[in-house]
Amino acid sequence: MLTVHTLKKYFNTNKAVDNVSFSIEKGEIFSLIGPNSSGKTTIIKSILGLLQATSGSITVDGIDISKKPEQAKACIGYIPDEPSLWQHMTGEEFLYFTQSLFSTPLKTRKETISKWLNVFDLTGIEKQYFEDYSRGNKQKFSIIAAMSHDPKLLLVDEPI
């Protein structure tokens, strides 16, 4: 499912990640544990394709993230440590937007969003703007956005 092989990431001369390797099989739960500034988020962002590794390789479901980034990213759902939702969008607009990133047909988007709003008990507040949501509800919308395209891999940065 996920293979990280001899991953290295440098920021100028600062070594953020040095020769990290691991693999995760389908159905496994895996955790990166370490002190602050030890490279955990850098590893996650490299897996997501948000940072380019200095060297090493990352494959998601057999797809090399550096060679076929869009195809690999379509397999991943991501829940950031802080819900970074656009304050000038409603929850519903945000979910429609995130679904469009995966080219989900409109009819499927409506059904999927409705289902997840019910699961997280958010029906009735989806037309409010993010700035009006509690931190907990922002987190719920972030979870829905990460899960609603049915990813094969779910990455969660600093879960609470």
Q: Of all residues in the chain, what percent are helix, strand and coil, respectively (each to 5)?
A: 35, 25, 40
160 occurs within a structural domain: no
Q: What range does the domain containing 100 cover?
A: 91-150
Boundary (domain end) residue, out of 46, 73, 100 = 73
The residues, any chain, with a CB within 8 Å of residue 123's CB and separated by 6 or more, are: 114, 117
Q: Is 0.95 topped by the overall pTM?
A: no
**Residues 52, 98 within the same domain:** no
pLDDT digits over 38-86, tens only? Answer: 999 999 999 999 999 999 999 999 999 999 999 999 999 999 887 766 7
The tally of domains found in the chain comes to: 2
- Residue 81 forms part of a structural domain: no
